[in-house]
């Protein structure tokens, strides 16, 4: 198992790096005015790199989903780790899609005026992401998800380990930490939600409604244009479908009502935290913690241990949200390329709406997992489960 993970993760990283290298060669060829023969050679090299990255990405995802299926619901550390790694790979694949689409546009596949500066921006994004995943995927799955290992979220100073003087102090600290964690989960989720809502607000209402009605469905096949651009579209489709596979198409359909409430509540900027607090069952979780802390038989050391675990949980969730925020940004750039395809505006709008609706669904499902509201994903030992462990 460990050997397979090393091979698949290493191959995945090398695939992304090969696209980056081939993309840099194309950028250089464009800037120096290479001959048609040299340009064809460089384009073919990028095509081959993209094909290799796609094959290695498919193999990596198949391996990771196999590991997720094989990990029991009690193996939360492994399941959380797989969740984070696949989220990071979805972001990487979207950056690859951006490079390929930008490359296609730069060599004139769309007929519009080439804009090589967009290729430069896409390459910088892929370079930054590939450097992060090269360092962060390279550790055993059984080690779990160490908070901050990807570095997408700004690293916060670790709170001082709790060592309470007495039982009452331990109870008080746990209550404070749990409330802080629930508030932080809502706040971090809000940032991603608002980015996705902003993107949805720029799309026609009928396409947004259609996207919500199809939440959990795979995205439809897009028009194929050009050679490099076509591979970019293919990469976009596989990235979104990997995200759907990670979250579970059936689970996304189950949170469709919560996602629609987020949209309805937030699209006009009326209120922000309320729909998320409702989706995450913040009040019910807080009330249950009060009940647990009122019970007899609680012990000081387990309470302090639980308080320390909550601090790590909060940081892990923040990083998940930062990855999703980067996904929204990558999708936004992809949208600018898709709009360059002649006569597919309505189709592009639906794809953009569906992708951002899926991000909203991801925020709801992951947030519910971290608070233990609804118990759908079962990949994290969340706030309520940590509290319940005090009375078991």
Domain assignment present for 150: no
- Look up the domain containing 114 and give its range: 2-139+165-391
Domain assignment present for 158: no
Share of the chain above pLDDT 90, in %: 58
> Looking at residue 345, what is its pLDDT?
60
CA 15 – CA 129 distance, rounded (Å): 13
b/e 127-157 (16+ beta carbons within 10 angstroms → b): bebbebbbebbebebeebbbbbbbebbeeee
CA 361 – CA 358 distance, rounded (Å): 5
Domain assignment present for 331: yes
pLDDT in tens, 136-192: 888 888 888 877 777 776 655 566 788 889 999 999 999 999 999 999 999 999 999
> Looking at residue 262, what is its pLDDT?
80
* Average pLDDT value for residue range 270-296: 88
* Average pLDDT value for residue range 193-217: 86
CA 245 – CA 359 distance, rounded (Å): 13
Whether 1 has a pLDDT exceeding 50, the answer reads no
* Average pLDDT value for residue range 306-321: 92
Domain assignment present for 153: no
Domain assignment present for 149: no
E strand intervals along the chain: none
> Looking at residue 158, what is its pLDDT?
62
For the record, the structure tokens of 92 come out as 């990487």
Domain assignment present for 99: yes
> Looking at residue 153, what is its pLDDT?
61
Q: What is the pTM of this model?
A: 0.91
pLDDT in tens, 322-370: 999 999 999 999 888 887 776 566 777 788 888 889 999 999 999 999 9
> Looking at residue 140, what is its pLDDT?
86
Domain assignment present for 148: no
Is residue 127 within 8 Å of 258, Cβ to Cβ?
A: no
> Looking at residue 49, what is its pLDDT?
98
> Looking at residue 154, what is its pLDDT?
61
Whether 294 has a pLDDT exceeding 70, the answer reads yes
Most trustworthy range by pLDDT among 12-21, 232-241, 245-254, 272-281? 12-21
**Total tally of structural domains belonging to the chain:** 1
Domain assignment present for 263: yes
């Amino acid at each position: 198992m460990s050997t397979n993970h090393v091979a698949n993760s290493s191959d995945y990283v090398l695939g992304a790096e090969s696209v980056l290298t081939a993309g840099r060669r194309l950028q250089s060829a464009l800037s120096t005015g290479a001959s048609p023969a040299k340009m064809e050679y460089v384009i073919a090299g990028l095509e081959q790199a993209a094909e290799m990255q796609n094959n290695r990405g498919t193999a990596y995802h198949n391996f990771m989903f196999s590991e997720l299926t094989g990990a029991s619901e009690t193996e939360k550390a492994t399941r959380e780790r797989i969740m984070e790694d696949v989220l990071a790979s979805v972001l990487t694949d979207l950056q690859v899609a951006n490079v390929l689409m930008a490359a296609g546009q730069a060599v004139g596949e769309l007929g519009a005026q080439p804009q090589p500066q967009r290729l430069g921006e896409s390459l910088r994004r892929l370079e930054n992401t590939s450097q992060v995943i090269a360092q962060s995927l390279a550790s055993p799955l059984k080690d779990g998800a160490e908070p901050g290992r990807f570095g997408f979220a700004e690293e916060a100073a670790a709170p001082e380990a709790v060592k309470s003087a007495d039982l009452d102090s331990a109870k008080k600290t746990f209550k404070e930490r749990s409330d802080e964690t629930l508030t932080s989960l809502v706040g971090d989720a809000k940032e991603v939600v608002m980015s996705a809502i902003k993107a949805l607000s720029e799309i026609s209402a009928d396409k947004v409604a259609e996207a919500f009605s199809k939440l959990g469905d795979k995205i439809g096949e897009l028009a194929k244009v050009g050679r490099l651009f076509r591979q970019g579209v293919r990469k976009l489709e596989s990235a979104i479908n990997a995200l759907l596979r990670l979250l579970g198409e059936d689970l996304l359909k189950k949170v469709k009502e919560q996602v629609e409430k987020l949209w309805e509540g937030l699209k006009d900027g009326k209120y922000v935290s309320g729909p998320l607090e409702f989706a995450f069952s913040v009040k019910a979780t807080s009330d249950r913690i009060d009940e647990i802390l009122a019970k007899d038989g609680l012990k000081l050391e387990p309470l302090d241990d639980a308080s320390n675990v909550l601090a790590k949980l909060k940081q892990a969730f923040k990083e998940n949200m930062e990855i999703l925020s980067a996904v929204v940004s990558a999708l936004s750039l992809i949208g600018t390329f898709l709009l360059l395809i002649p006569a597919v505006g309505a189709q592009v709008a639906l794809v953009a709406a569906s992708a951002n609706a899926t991000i909203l669904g991801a925020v709801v499902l992951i947030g519910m997992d971290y608070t233990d509201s609804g118990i759908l994903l079962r990949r994290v030992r969340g706030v309520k489960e940590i509290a319940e462990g005090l009375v078991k």
